[in-house]
Amino acid sequence: MASKKKQTTPTDDFSARGAPSPPTQKVFIQRDYSEGTQVRFQPKFPSELEGKIEREKFEYTLNTLNEVYAEAEKMSCSSCCEGCFACLTAYLLYCCSDTHFEKCLKKVAKFIIEQNERVYVPRGLLIIDPVERGLRVIEICIFSDNPASTPARNN
């Protein structure tokens, strides 16, 4: 009899590390379509994050994400050669290697994990990878008990 594996979500992972669950509020950073359909998120600082994270740290995260997504969609000689070689091999190439876009998505996932560990989780926040939301929004979960602001108990 096959056992069903429970699918975990980022908030499950967050609560497994000792943070409160579920989030008390969620903030969504929308896609910016002002320059076309490329993946780019609005650079507006949400008022819900005021006092929870420094504006510079948030802008650094957002600008880095936008830069990596721009790199992923950039047409270059190597991406053209990759496409031609994939066509010549009946797309079997993609069984052996990742596309340039997939490599950039992995870079984004790694960056978000790093930012969550260093910047966001200590402030009671959690960024969800935009891939999990169909590249439509960046979701930021806000937890009511900020681990950094909770005073340590003297026992």
The per-residue pLDDT for range 114-148, each reduced to its tens digit, is: 999 999 999 999 999 999 999 999 999 998 765 44
Q: How far apart, in whole angstroms, are the C-alpha atoms of residue 84 and residue 107?
A: 24
Indicate the number of domains in the chain: 1
Q: Using an 8 Å Cβ cutoff, are 66 and 40 in contact?
A: yes
Residue 155 placed within a domain: no
Q: pLDDT of 82-101, one tens digit each?
A: 999 999 998 898 899 999 99
Query: What is the predicted pLDDT for the residue at 22?
Result: 80
Query: What is the predicted pLDDT for the residue at 112?
Result: 97
Residue 148 placed within a domain: no
Residue 153 placed within a domain: no
Residue 25 placed within a domain: yes
Across-strand partners of 139?
28, 128
* CB environment 14-52: b (16+ within 10 A), e (fewer): bbeeebeeebeeebebebeeeeeeebbbbeebeeebeeb
> Which distant-in-sequence residues (6+ apart) come within 8 Å of 63 by Cβ?
43
Q: pLDDT of 5-40, one tens digit each?
A: 444 555 555 544 554 568 789 999 999 999 889 999
Residue 150 placed within a domain: no
Q: Predicted confidence band at 152 (pLDDT cuts at 50, 70, 90)?
A: very low
Query: What is the predicted pLDDT for the residue at 35?
Result: 87
Quote the distance between the C-alpha of residue 60 and its chain's center.
Answer: 13
Query: What is the predicted pLDDT for the residue at 9?
Result: 54
Query: What is the predicted pLDDT for the residue at 149?
Result: 45
Residue 11 placed within a domain: no
Residue 84 placed within a domain: yes
Tell me which residue range forms the domain holding 125.
19-38+51-142
- Looking at per-residue pLDDT, the higher value among 61 and 152 belongs to 61
Q: pLDDT of 32-82, one tens digit each?
A: 999 889 999 998 999 999 999 999 999 999 999 999 999 999 998 988 999
Query: What is the predicted pLDDT for the residue at 151?
Result: 41
Query: What is the predicted pLDDT for the residue at 153?
Result: 35
Diameter of the chain measured on Cα atoms: 69
Own/partner contacts of 128-136, CB < 8 Å, gap of 24 or more, are: 128/10, 129/10, 130/39, 130/41, 130/65, 131/105, 132/10, 135/31, 135/39, 136/30, 136/31
Residue 113 placed within a domain: yes
Q: Check residue 153 and give left, alpha or beta (phi > 0: left; psi -120 to 50: alpha).
A: beta
Q: Using an 8 Å Cβ cutoff, are 68 and 115 in contact?
A: no
